[in-house]
Amino acid sequence: MTRRSLLAIAALTLIAAIRVASTHRVFSATVDEPVHLAAGYEWFDGTYRIDPTHPPLARILFALPLRGQPEPASPNMIGRGNELLYAGNHYEGNLARGRMGNLVFLIVACIAVAAWAKRAYNDTVAVIAVALFTNVPAVLGHAGLMTTDLSVTATLPLALYALDLVIESWTPRRALFLGVAIGLGVLSKFSFLVYFPACAIVLLAVRLRSRPRVVAIAIAFAAAFIVAWGGYRFDFRAPADVDPDAPAYFEGANLPRSLALMRMPAPAMPLGFVRVRLHDQLGHTAFLLGKQSRTGWWYYFPVVFFFKTPLPLLILFIAGLFYVGRRGLPYALCTLAIMLVSMTASLNIGLRHILPIYAPFCIVAAVAVLRLKTIVSAALMAWLVIGVAIAHPDYMAWFNEAAGSNPAHVAVDSNLDWGQDVLRLARVVKKRRIDHLWIVMNNSTWLPVHGINAEWLPPRTKVSGWVAAGENWTAFTNDYDWLKMYRPAQRVGRSIRLYYIP
């Protein structure tokens, strides 16, 4: 890759990192962030029991800047995370410091996208792919949080790039790189264990031309095992030693209880995977296009992906399908594989669960930028860049034009309302001198610390005064439909409607 191309990729990555960092103090912690922080902090103490449903890699980076804070004493996960965030009365500063960890994955993701694109095309396609990737609102939004979705968005294309290298030449050095990349992927998020095999099958089917070498496979496997086990501090116990309820979890997931009693490397990993599997089996209340479901819909992710992906990027991808040729076929098929795998899941609670799809997606779209007429490419790129820039800093809650003025009719959850606008609400409360507030909204913060004297709004109870209603709650229940008779006095961010009831 030429020096000019490297500088362009570095500049695009730096701009994206600055855009993301500028949002760190705008948004309050989302519902899940205190949990991730508390789990990461616990890892440094030598245990990993708080919440093993996510691997520790990203959480370690979140907690690292906050090491030295007083040990949390709260018995619950959110409380422990909040003790770290509010330590020293520096909530916004601590929140920003923890969120810096995801910038590492943003950088890795950009490098991986560029390197993987370069495998089949040239420097120009690699640069354009990064330009597109760093203008995906969902990527920018989740890069600004302490959550694990961006870590797998970085490690999946990294591992697929490494696999692409190995397929070309089964050398020990490349096999070692592949193993390390897979190990990091396993430590990023359990969805890697589903997405990587699906995409690997695509790469092997399309690009494999030589017989795999047993030595290279052994090196890759050993490296992946050591990295993944090391991420769990080389723990060697039974899952039941990590969590006494492990036998019940295994049994509930239709697995033998005896597995929970067996000593094994990284016991928190199978325990966490089993709990995720059990969660998927039991379902989770989901919302889409005005409907609710406990087990979701097979079309949930295609629909949400359509409404939360910039329209010009969708157009470029569709055009790119006609131009990628055999060289770019794996990128198109990997995009399809990730989508098809996601459609089998019953946990339909946010586009963030398929965030890795944007890596191969943007590479295909980048090909179209080069092949279309210059004026068409320029118009689509301008539409993309300007449209996303105008949305700053509300990347996470962003929807494209097709969603209309009220995207809450399409989807909520972490797509729109994840409790991120409490700091904005605090500023509005102060400005309007609101001394009492009825609330019905997602929240993980300590409201009184932020100057909000709040009381939960009872269901089906009409009140007077100020009411802050989150999009999530008003979509999931009709207990607060009476609020629809009133026009909001103000929209607070993208997720809260502030009413004054006479």
Is position 323 within any domain? no
Q: Does the bond joining 172 to the residue before it have cis omega, within 30 degrees of 0? A: no
Residue 75: its pLDDT value, please?
Answer: 87
| Domain extent at residue 83 | 27-99
The token pair that represents 343 in the structure block:
């459609």
Is position 489 within any domain? yes
The beta strands (E) that lie in 5-163 are given as none
Q: What is the pLDDT of residues 429-465, one digit of tens each?
A: 999 999 999 999 999 999 999 999 999 999 999 999 9
Is position 74 within any domain? yes
Residue 68: its pLDDT value, please?
Answer: 86
Is position 79 within any domain? yes
Is position 303 within any domain? no
- Based on the structure, what is the number of domains in the chain? 2
User: Taking the C-alpha atoms of 498, 21, 33 and 342 in order, what is their torsion angle to the nearest 10 degrees?
Assistant: 100
Phi-psi category of 227—alpha, beta or left, where left has phi over 0 and alpha has psi -120 to 50?
Answer: alpha
Among residues 47, 65, 99, the one where a domain terminates is 99
Position 331: which residue type? Answer: Y
Walking along the chain (502 residues) 10 residues at a time, the average pLDDT comes out as: 95 98 97 96 92 96 93 90 95 97 98 96 96 98 98 98 95 97 98 97 91 94 98 95 92 90 95 91 88 92 98 98 92 97 92 98 97 95 97 97 94 95 97 96 95 95 95 89 93 96 94
Among residues 42, 65, 99, the one where a domain terminates is 99
Buried b (16+ CB within 10 A) or exposed e, 416-432: bbbbbbbbbbbebbeee
Residue 69: its pLDDT value, please?
Answer: 85
Q: What pTM did the predictor assign?
A: 0.95
Q: d(Cα 326, Cα 315) in Å, to the nearest integer? A: 20
Q: What are the two backbone dihedrals, phi and then psi, of residue 193, each rounded to the nearest 5 degrees?
A: -70, -15
Q: d(Cα 434, Cα 424) in Å, to the nearest integer? A: 14
The token pair that represents 73 in the structure block:
């004493």
Residue 384: its pLDDT value, please?
Answer: 98
Is position 73 within any domain? yes
Buried b (16+ CB within 10 A) or exposed e, 387-396: bbeebebbbb
Rounded to 5°, angle at Cα 139 from 358 and 182: 60
Helix, coil or strand: residue 152: helix
Residue 289: its pLDDT value, please?
Answer: 94
Buried b (16+ CB within 10 A) or exposed e, 251-265: bbbebeeebbeeeeb
Per the CB < 8 A criterion, the answer to whether 334 and 266 are in contact is no
Is position 249 within any domain? no
Residue 456: its pLDDT value, please?
Answer: 96
Q: d(Cα 272, Cα 275) in Å, to the nearest integer? A: 5
Among residues 66, 83, 99, the one where a domain terminates is 99
The beta strands (E) that lie in 128-244 are given as 236-237
Is position 222 within any domain? no
